[in-house]
Amino acid sequence: MGTDQSDATLTYSQEQVQQILNLAIEQQAYEGEFSHDQLVEIAEELGISQIALNQAAQSLRTQQGELVKRQSFDHYRQINLRKKAGRFAIANSSLILLNTLMGFSFPWSLYIALLWGLRLGLNAWNVYHTGDEAYEQAFRRWERKHQLQQKVDTWLGRLLSV
């Protein structure tokens, strides 16, 4: 009984309430998904207005869309890095072979491989280092490019369908 009375007098901050509810939902053995009506009902029980619920749902959709775009961008950058690494391997192995056939008296191909490898390493650093301003700028440029491409595709589709 003592714990019931002490639980009734406890107070929680909004952050603590969110953490407790998140943990409780994670521990709940509910299989499947919640319907929109169930979400509205839960929000009503918690005293959350319909407007706040709709804004939160819209915000979540926006965040998920942004996450999908960023994943696509990261995948695009990784594919480009693999292409560059393949070109590096083919070109430099050919240069080293040519240098070897010429006697390898002066290892000029190794200097080319070293400089090209340095550039490839810096490129790899940029691809996998995603927490800085350069990443954000590259992402925004890529996003604008894709938005423009979608508009052009839509415009051409309409033009060709006429």
What would the pLDDT profile of 46-70 be if each residue is shown by its tens digit?
A: 888 889 889 988 999 999 999 999 9
- Rounded to two decimals, what is the model's pTM? 0.71
pLDDT in tens, 86-138: 999 999 999 999 999 998 888 999 999 999 999 999 999 999 988 889 899 99
- Could you write out the DSSP letters of every residue in 38-103? HHHHHHHHHT--HHHHHHHHHHHHHHHHHHHHHHHHHHHHHHHHHHHHHHHHHHHHHHHHHHHHTT
Residue position matching structure tokens 């169930």: 38
**How far is Cα 41 from Cα 29, in angstroms, rounded to an integer?**
19
Report d(CA 77, CA 142) in Å as an integer: 10
The CA distances from residue 42 to 16, 53, 84, in Å, are 18, 10, 52
Kindly report the length of the chain. Answer: 162
- The span from the CA of 89 to the CA of 108, in Å, is 16
The residue assigned the tokens 């009375």 is 5
